[in-house]
Amino acid sequence: MDKQVKAITAGIILNPQKEKILLVRRADSMWGDAWSIPGGHIDFGETVEEALKRELKEELNLKTLKVKFVGYEQFTPETKPDKQFISLNFLVIANEQIQPNHEIKEAKWFSLNELNNIKHKVPNLDFL
């Protein structure tokens, strides 16, 4: 088993009123049935912000309005014990129109209050 460290980028996506957050269930079941913030890999030569915008466009056809770096997290998902991920997380303000592609099993806007009632892998939102 070849252990790897992978850098990814992810978006904590809020609607313009900052009252709803967009979460996804990934088709690859990296998080099982838990909701998570969308994102993905960084291509060679891309900035982290360019990679995030590309991933959000590819996976959700999402139009980003504003993007701001808010921090990083590192984790090893139970489903991928040989991979350690470093996730560079951004706060993203975006319109609510989405069209998920095949990589996304389900995408849904939640009110921030609903986070307490669902199984999710959302990073700390203390910066809000």
- The pLDDT confidence band at residue 30, using thresholds 50, 70 and 90, is confident
> Domain of 59?
20-117
**What pLDDT does residue 1 have?**
64
> Is 5 inside any structural domain?
no
| Mean pLDDT on 110-119 | 92
Q: What is the mean pLDDT of residues 14-20?
A: 95
What positions carry a catalytic annotation? 106
Say if 13 falls within a structural domain.
no
Residue 36 within a domain: yes
User: Which pLDDT score, from 0 to 100, does residue 33 have?
Assistant: 84
CATH, residue 68: 3.90.79.10
The answer to the question of residue 8 being in a domain is no
Dihedral, 26, 50, 11, 43 alpha carbons, nearest 10: 40
pLDDT tens digits, residue range 38-63? 999 999 999 999 999 999 999 999 98
CA distances from 88 to 27, 38, 75, 78, 96 (A): 21, 12, 12, 20, 23
For residue 76, being part of any structural domain is answered with yes
* Distances in whole angstroms, Cα of residue 18 to Cα of each of 8, 27, 43, 54, 120: 24, 27, 30, 22, 19
| Domain assignment present for 9 | no
> Which range is least confidently modeled, 17-21, 66-70, 79-83, 85-89?
79-83
pLDDT on residue 28:
84
Query: pTM for the full model?
Result: 0.91
Question: What's residue 78's pLDDT?
Answer: 86
Domain membership of residue 42 (yes or no) is yes
Q: How far is CA 113 from CA 100, 109, 117, 126, in A?
A: 24, 12, 8, 14
Q: How far apart are CA 74 and CA 72, in angstroms?
A: 7
Percentage above 70 pLDDT, the chain: 99
Does 93 have pLDDT greater than 90? yes
Average pLDDT over residues 71-80: 90
Q: With respect to residue 4, please indicate whether it lies within any of the assigned structural domains.
A: no
Q: How many independent structural domains does the chain possess?
A: 1
Measured CA to CA, the distance from residue 114 to residue 122 in angstroms comes to: 12
- CA angle centred on 77, ends 86 and 99, rounded to 5°: 80
